[in-house]
Each structure stands twice: as structure tokens, then as C-alpha cells.
Structure 1
Amino acid sequence: MLTVSSVNVNGIRAAAPKGLTAWLAATDADVVCLQETRARHEDLPDELLGVLERAGWLLTLAPSDAAQGRAGVGVLTRVAPEAVRVGIDAAEGAAAGRYVEVDLPGLTVASLYLPNGTVGTPRQDEKDRFLAAFAPYLAERREKAAAEDREVVVCGDWNIAHTEADIRNWRGNVRNSGFLPHERAWLGELYGSGWVDVVRSLHPGVDGPYSWWSYRGRAFDNDTGWRIDLHVATAGLAARASSAVVERAPSHAERWSDHAPVTVRYAP
């Protein structure tokens, strides 16, 4: 089995002592995609680096050059990548700490932190520009992978809830970024082009499973969440997915991020 996990750590230095380090030491995943790391390699705590070394993890980190302390993505692998590519060859993703992909034998794994917009602000403009650049990049990436007989999975915080089943309080968010009609349509067009939402394919017709809950109020306790942490894969790899789980913390106090790891197992 190939096991791939993805999690927005909400600041790797803050998450490490709260439970991320212990989770990385214990997981049996072959690949872990990280988002919102907010750190360069030299900023990582020694305890975390020690755990990565002892567990045999190799870290590919892509911080934001545009805004230090913001964004940042990474991929942890058990074997050295054959190749690494950072950004999406566009102004919105070149060195913004939003996207990194690594080639493993027969498989490309990418970690994505799609911008989180706010309606009526430059942040939403940034998000929309990224969407406009990312769609053709993914189309090209899928065509190239098919020509190379290679599968691809793009894991990460996509910051879009596709349907009403992907957000508990959808009625209260119809005018908010992350659930805007044009964002949802963009994701639907992506799925229509041949990419597959792996978690939804294994959990059809149900609400959730949610992967992000606000720290405000009792969102976590009431499971008032969003399903925005996705594994989006080429059809061949998606067909091999056998299980998908959200590794939800036992309690609010035991959370080390406002997101939870989303873990998918793929058959050989």
C-alpha cells in the first residue's frame, strides 16, 4: 500500500510541540504534504529535525519568498525525490510558498496551499488570479503525466468547499470566500476535466468528512467544519484508493492545528 497524508499545520514551529512532532514520529504514511508551514529550513526546531531524522523523513520545503512568515508548503518522503518543482510558472505562484511537487517512481505528489480570499479585498483578487493560472497548469500537468505513464496527486488546503455537503453551515457562507459560486464552479470544471476528488469518491452522499474547524466558539465540538483539505488525483491513482480518513483529534484541547490530517491509502 501507498499511504499519503496531507495537513495544514498552521505554523510548523507552533504545531511541533503541540503534537505535530509526535504525529510525524508515529505515522506510517509514505508521504506527508504540509501546508502553511511559515518557516524556512533554518527556522525549524531541533526537536522536530531530530524526529524527522530518526523516522527517516526527507523534507522538501518551499517557503514564501514574497512574504516571510506567510504560507509555505512542504513534502516529506521516505525516499529521495527524483525531481522537485516549486511554483506553477506564473506570477501568482512562482515563489509564494503555495505549491511544490516531487517526483517519486511512477508518481508525482504535490502540496498545495491555495490562497484564502476575503470578498471585496485584494486577497480575493489574489485568489482569483491564482485560480486562473492554476487551471491551465493542472491541465498541462495531467497531459504530461499521461504521456509519461505517471500518476499525480495534488494534496493540500484548497480553500474551496465544493458542494453543500462539504460545509456544515453552507447557508451562512454563500457570500463568503471558499464557497462562492465561481470558486465552486472552478473546482467542478477541474473534476469534469479528469481529475478526481479522492475523499469524496470514497465517501459519496454524506456530509463531510470535515477537515477544518474554526478555533472560534464550539465549531470543533459541534463538528461545524469545512471539507477543504483534498487529495485531487489522476483517474488511475484515484481508482486505486482503498480508504480515506480524517485523523480528527480526540478533543479540542488535543488539537495541534485548526486542520486535521487527511490520509488516503492507495493499493499497489
Structure 2
Amino acid sequence: MKLISWNVNGLRACLKKGFEDTVKGMDADFVCIQETKMQPGQAEVDLPEYPLQYFCSAEKKGYSGTAVFTAREPLDVQYNFGTHTDEGRGIFLEYEDFYLVNVYVPNAQPGLKRIDYRMQWEDDLRAYLAELDRKKPVILCGDMNVAHEEIDLKNPKSNRGNAGFSDQERGKMTELLGAGFTDTFRYLYPDLTGVYSWWSYRFNARKNNAGWRIDYFLVSDRLRDRIREAKIHTDILGSDHCPVELDIDL
């Protein structure tokens, strides 16, 4: 089974940059999207290969939002979780043998202005994932808005303490992994450097590969032996993020 996760930084904009052709070419079973920045009906996604399209939109227009495209009908679909219901940051699909969770984790913002909310969101999500994990294994993907270790960004020293590389955010990722989840890319490639999923639009960051790995597939630890491949498609354009992929036997 192949899954794709991609922060498209505005689905309507990405549609104009070949999104549909890109998705068709990847031939995945699930395509999970973050930062759609749209409300239902604001754009039509022409992907007949994916007749089931689930959108979770923020109340604020042009902000946040998640989506999942698939041909596999779930047993149940849930949008958002707990008290976090207004920013469209999560879609939870239940299948017979697993849960698929697509999230767009809140950005802590410059100066860590939103760090308190980010910490609460992290704690609530981790608790909810633990509930799901007790029932059946979980596949979690999305823009997690954190580079976990120094190996996960080009310039760790100059970014220490900044949003996305603060001790608080890195600590929450450590807690999540410690709660029974595996970072699929690092499981297969523990020492691989220079592979990132996001680059700033400033300072020719992508051209210079001054990036961050902040897009992930995490799986319940008991699925780790079923991981076949984890890829980061750095060659695919259309957003300031690139798609990440998980191939897993399920």
C-alpha cells in the first residue's frame, strides 16, 4: 500500500501548477493534503482515480485545512478532534486493520507566539492517538511543523529556538515517538543527511537545499516491520513543501 502526504500551500494555487498530473503519476492508494486554504466548493479536483475526497476546512477562509483523496471507502470518517475544531487540522479515517490520520500541526509562529497552543494541541493529539492505537494500529502523516533532530535541517545552530526547532516542539515529537510510534523515514535511513521536505521561499533556499524535514509518516511501532520504503520526493515542485511517501504492507 502506497500513501502520499503533501503540504500544498494552497490547493487552488497548486492545481495551477500541475497538482492533478503529479498525483496521478504517483499512483498512491491515499493522498493526504495539508494547508488546502480553501472551503468546500471553491475548487474542483479532477481525479477520477480518487472518487472519495474528504475535506476538513478551517472556519477562517484561506487558512489551514486538510484533505484526503482515496478510492478505499473507510468504515468511519472523523474531522478534527477534541476541542480543536475550528482550524481544519485533522482527518481520521478508520479501516478494518488500521487508522489513517492526516494532520496539519499548528505553527508556533515567529517568537513562539503560539507555543502554548501548540503544546496543548500536541498533548491532546498524542492522547487521542494513544486511544486509537489501543484499538488498532495507526498511520499518522502530515506537516508536523518540527524538525526533530539536528540532522533534519540544514542550519540547526542558527535555528535553535526558532519556531519548528525549539526545544519545546522537538520535545513533543520525542514524546510522541516514545508513546509507541516510529518515524518511518529515520527508521530506514537513520543517518541520511541533506534530505528535506520544506524550503523557505527566501534566499534561494531550495536551490541551495537549505531545507527542513518537517513532513512525516509515523506508524504504530508494531507496524515498523511492515515498512517497505519511505521516500521524500524533493524533485516534485508546486509548493514550498515536497510530497513524502510511505510504502507499507497492510
Which residue in 2 is equivalent to 1:101?
A: 92
Which residue in 1 is equivalent to 2:74?
A: 81
1:175 to 161, 170, 183: 161
1:259 to 222, 227, 241: 241
Q: Which runs of 5+ in 2 are unaligned?
A: none
Which residue in 2 is equivalent to 1:128?
A: 119
- Equivalent pair of 2:196/2:212 in contact (CA under 8 Å): yes
Please state how far the C-alpha of 1:119 moved relative to its aligned partner. 4.6
Aligned length: 250
- Aligned AA for 1:73? T
Please state how far the C-alpha of 1:265 moved relative to its aligned partner. 0.6
Correspondence 1:219-234 to 2 at 5 A: 219-234=205-220
Taking the aligned partners of 1:5 and 1:208, their CA distance within structure 2 comes to 21
Taking the aligned partners of 1:264 and 1:120, their CA distance within structure 2 comes to 33
- Equivalent pair of 1:208/1:227 in contact (CA under 8 Å): no
Taking the aligned partners of 2:75 and 2:153, their CA distance within structure 1 comes to 37
Taking the aligned partners of 2:137 and 2:116, their CA distance within structure 1 comes to 32
Correspondence 1:178-193 to 2 at 5 A: 178-193=164-179
SS in 1 for 2:17: helix
- Equivalent pair of 1:160/1:179 in contact (CA under 8 Å): yes
Taking the aligned partners of 2:32 and 2:231, their CA distance within structure 1 comes to 15
- Equivalent pair of 2:17/2:238 in contact (CA under 8 Å): yes
Q: TM-score, normalised by structure 2?
A: 0.94
Correspondence 1:1-268 to 2 at 5 A: 2-45=1-44, 48=45, 51-53=46-48, 55-65=49-59, 67-90=60-83, 93-120=84-111, 122-143=113-134, 145=135, 150-249=136-235, 255-268=237-250
- Aligned AA for 2:67? G
- Equivalent pair of 2:112/2:162 in contact (CA under 8 Å): no
How has the CA–CA distance of structure 1 residues 179 and 10 changed in structure 2, closer, same or farther, with 3 Å as cutoff?
A: same
Please state how far the C-alpha of 1:4 moved relative to its aligned partner. 0.7
Identical positions, percent: 34
SS in 1 for 2:130: helix
Q: TM-score, normalised by structure 1?
A: 0.88
RMSD: 1.6
Deviates more, 1:163-172 or 1:22-31: 22-31
- Equivalent pair of 1:242/1:265 in contact (CA under 8 Å): yes
